Amino acid sequence: MSNNQFDRPRTVVITGASAGIGRAIAREFAKEHARIGLIARNQEGLEGARKEIEALGGEALVLPVDVADFRALDEAAGKVEETFGPIDVWINNAMTSVLGLFKDVDMDEFKRVTEVTYLGSVYGAKCALKRMQPRNRGSIVFVGSALAYRGIPLQTAYCGAKHAIEGFYDSLRSELVHENSNVMTTMVQLPGVNTTQFGLVRNKLDKQPRPMGTIYQPEVAARAVVTAAGTNDREYYVGLPAVQTILSSKLFPGLMDLFLGKSAVSGQKTDKDATHHQDYLFESVPGDHGSHGDFDDKAKNSGIVMKGSTVRALTSALVFGTVIAATSLITSSLTRR
């Protein structure tokens, strides 16, 4: 179902649009004939996305830009509005990562992940709000992760950046409430997804990497993002593992430390030896890499999507029920005495 409430096709900007989840999001918006500004570094991947969008009835503008460069990103936003008109939706999706123990990660690598994944989202929000706030309308979606709530081994830089986005988002949303703004914001927390990043990421492990836990196809995430873009709901959680991870991190953080410390390192490795290849940390990797990674045989094509408010209500009910049950047991025991 389309979320388009306009009398014209929506103008959408997607960062990280050349591959993976961003590429899948672009296809979903194209189905409603959106006009889409495609932002990423990889020219070939962006051209591939453009062809897919046009085949689905949308329009596309290819903008090879590094989201860590604020001026270039702002100029790209201006080109989108010159070409397609006012930006209605901005999707902050671009990311990069390094897989390895923190002791093995160089600080220039850590900085680069932070600049792309965290500051890229901050810069994107700035570019979007610069144009949306004067019109008092628009929607900004932050593509998050269960790892915005629960850090795991081997991904210190990425988890730190996702946590930072969550904190920034909290502050920004509060400011928009203070200003009685009609600009909508939401954050979509994702599970492990079968994207191209696991073949392109800088890998310091002895084995080739894989997503942690249950794996979902990029289209599952993309559909949730497009749904979220039409709402002002605070958060969406995609896939049962994301819900479980976030709830467990809130209720049992110490146990999660132990569980992940024992299982998450091996859980992010395949049985294939690591190979040395060009990675996408500092420069794009040539070629059109598409949206799917190497785990099609393991990835799910559907998954639950829950509003954060629903999950929090369930958590409160669970905690309240546990307290009541414990109180009842204690009272019964005292009465028997």
Q: How far is CA 99 from the centre of its chain?
A: 17
Question: Do residues 168 and 119 touch, judged by C-beta distance below 8 A?
Answer: no
Within a domain: residue 5?
A: no
Residue 3 inside a domain? The answer is: no
Please give the Cα distance from 90 to 228 (Å, whole number). 12
pLDDT tens figures, 49-88: 999 999 999 999 999 999 999 999 999 999 999 999 999 9
User: Is 248 exposed, middle or buried, given 0-12, 13-18 or 19+ CB atoms closer than 10 A?
Assistant: middle
State the residue for tokens 């996305």.
49
Whether 335 has a pLDDT exceeding 90, the answer reads no
Distance of CA 230 to the CA centre of its chain: 17
Establish if 53 belongs to a structural domain.
yes
DSSP type of residue 206: S
Q: What is the pLDDT of residue 149?
A: 92
User: Measured between alpha carbons, how far is 77 from 13 in angstroms, rounded to an integer?
Assistant: 8
Domain that holds residue 225: 11-336
Domain presence at residue 1: no
Asked if residue 309 has pLDDT above 80, the reply is no
Q: What is the mean pLDDT of residues 309-334?
A: 55
158 assigned to active site: yes
Asked whether residue 4 is domain-assigned, the answer is: no
Angle at CA 29, nearest 5°, toward 25 and 34? 140
- Indicate the SS3 state at residue 4: coil
The residue behind tokens 């930072």 is 164
Q: Cα–Cα distance between 308 and 314 in angstroms, integer?
A: 10
Query: Residue 139 falls within a domain, yes or no?
Result: yes
Other CB atoms within 10 Å distance of the CB of residue 105: 19
Beta strands in the chain (DSSP E): 11-15, 35-40, 59-64, 89-92, 98-99, 139-143, 184-189, 192-193, 202-203, 207-209, 215-216, 235-238, 269-273, 305-307
- What is the average per-residue pLDDT within 224-247? 94
Which of 114, 227, 110 is closest to 168 using CA atoms?
114
Tokens found for residue 195: 């994207």
- Give a yes or no: residue 22 inside a domain: yes
Say if residues 113 and 91 touch (Cβ distance below 8 Å): no
Q: What is the pTM of this model?
A: 0.90
Query: Residue 49 belongs to a domain with what CATH number?
Result: 3.40.50.720
Decide if 63 is inside a domain.
yes
CA count, 13 A, side-chain hemisphere, 305? 18
| Cβ atoms of residues 185 and 165 within 8 Å | no
Report the number of distinct structural domains present in the chain.
1
HSE (CB half, 13 Å, CA atoms) of 150?
A: 27
Q: From the candidates 149, 158, 169, 236, which is the catalytic residue?
A: 158
Asked if the model's pLDDT at residue 334 lies above 50, the reply is no
Model confidence band, residue 5 (pLDDT cutoffs 50, 70, 90): low
What tens digit of pLDDT does each residue of 166-186 get?
999 999 999 999 999 999 999
